[in-house]
Amino acid sequence: MTPLPPSSSIPSRQPHSLFIRGGRIIDPASGRDEIGDLLVIDSRIAESTAAQKGDSSVPVIEAKGLIVAPGLIDMHVHLREPGGGQKETIATGTRAAAAGGFTSILAMPNTNPPADGPNTIALMRQRARETACINVFNTGCITVGMKGEQLAPIGSLHKAGVVAITDDGHCVQNNEVMRRALDYARMFDLLTLDHCQDYALSAGGVMHEGYWSTLLGLPGWPRIAEDMIVARNILLSELTGARILMQHLSSANSVRLVREAKKRGVKVYAEAMPHHIALTDASVENYDTNFKMNPPLREKADQEALLAGLADDTIEILASDHAPHAAYEKEVEFAEAPFGIVGLETELGIFAKVLIEGRVLDWPQMLGKLTINPARLLGLDRGTLAPGAVADITLIDPKHPWKVDAEKFHSLSRNTPFNGWDLPARATHTLVEGRVAWSLEKGFGG
């Protein structure tokens, strides 16, 4: 069968041309890192900048002091549409993404109804074409209703344009069902994303099981509940040959398991989130529900293992797990509150603070995990500044101190643990197919 290309949902607009002058061009896909100019002709990266000489009709962006990177890709975003309009919509979620420097996002399927069939995917893609300001790519569910029992129609989902399958928010507990899902995923060469959580081992848990859960009297969600499924997935990937990405790793043991499996050539990949590398379970001290997420914040040793995993490329993906919740949903007792926090508008700054200022990664290494790595895993024709590539570009000011103010978020939700934080860097321009979707100076479409 010929699958539909994993096209974005941005409506076709007039082709755009643009000249970006004097920035630090970083293209992790090719290893390019130099001060230079970048020319966009008809919404694509041009072969050379020679054509621009003397052409004053092409708009110019002065990029002195800025990083010119491929458009950032966040492969773990909850948009909440359909069914969760009080938390987020495709319109507000993509605006938040654009303001965070992202040109493409991958939408998780735990909407209401869930994206477990081609009709829901068609609806979501239609809504994105009408209301999104950046590219939205879709995932489909692994199982019907994310119940973990009956396989979703993976072939039809693939035909409808999904670029990965996942039951994110849920985890398929039945190993036989997961094995069959992976057999299908392999047939279509679809990446499977797994939220690794053994339900029996984590039953009732609302925070990391350890010193703080004991002190605070809250039920624990121990590391072993993640490690067990990571180990299961490694074995199933070896058996089926299917590619699996372990979503939002939080545990030191999981990092070790993935590292060892990769050494054996198993096709497993891993993702890290800003909150797991910036915070520990000690933050739960005041029962603030903005520190409640799934998997939970863990200990210093886990944080250090995640950083080591990012440094040696055991973890090749950085993403947000943007999970908006309305204030009235989060303003309840810790044990009762929903899991999850927003992330799109703060993640680049948090990553710069923890990874660049912390000397864990340099800019090219960090940007690779936000551009070409997700593009390759998902099979997207994005994530590079190579000549001929689609002109999705993010300009970043690496020396732009700013303070997080949740009241200014473009997201409909405010549930962030980072309110009031001082961050060292931020995106200044988000260009989708050569068009300015957002700029720090002029806002949307400016």
Site residues for Zn ion per CB under 5 A:
168, 195
The smaller minimum CB distance to Zn ion, of residues 80 and 195, is found at 195
The smaller minimum CB distance to Zn ion, of residues 63 and 196, is found at 196
Smallest CA-to-CA distance from 394 within 101, 110, 19 is with 101
Closest-approach residue to Zn ion (CB): 195
The smaller minimum CB distance to Zn ion, of residues 26 and 258, is found at 258
Please state the closest distance from residue 202 (CB atom) to Zn ion, in A.
12
**Rounded Cα gap, residues 20 and 243, in angstroms:** 37
Q: Does the annotation count 281 as an active-site position? A: no
Strands of the 72-77 sheet, one edge to the other: 72-77, 102-107, 135-140, 164-166, 191-194, 244-246, 268-272, 317-318
Cβ atoms 385, 393 nearer than 8 A: yes
Please state the closest distance from residue 194 (CB atom) to Zn ion, in A.
9
Where on the phi/psi map is residue 54: left (φ > 0), alpha (ψ -120 to 50), or beta? left
Residue type at 25? I
Tokens of 407: 């009241």
Angle between helices 118-131 and 90-99 (to 10 degrees): 60
Q: Which residue has the tokens 């529900």?
A: 289
Please state the closest distance from residue 115 (CB atom) to Zn ion, in A.
15
Tokens of 275: 């909150």
**C-alpha triplet 22, 39, 440: angle, nearest 5°:** 60
The smaller minimum CB distance to Zn ion, of residues 208 and 426, is found at 208
**Rounded Cα gap, residues 343 and 101, in angstroms:** 12
Q: In 264-412, where does DSSP find H-type helix?
A: 274-278, 300-311, 327-330, 347-351, 363-368, 372-378
User: Which residue(s) pair with 220 in the sheet?
Assistant: 207
The smaller minimum CB distance to Zn ion, of residues 158 and 195, is found at 195
Please state the closest distance from residue 110 (CB atom) to Zn ion, in A.
8
Please state the closest distance from residue 249 (CB atom) to Zn ion, in A.
11
The smaller minimum CB distance to Zn ion, of residues 168 and 397, is found at 168
CA 4 to chain CA centroid, Å, is 23
Please state the closest distance from residue 246 (CB atom) to Zn ion, in A.
10
Q: Which of 321, 381, 397, 422 is catalytic?
A: 321
State residue 402 phi and psi, 5-degree precision: -150, 160
Please state the closest distance from residue 168 (CB atom) to Zn ion, in A.
4
The smaller minimum CB distance to Zn ion, of residues 195 and 414, is found at 195
Instruction: Indicate which residues carry an active-site annotation.
Output: 321
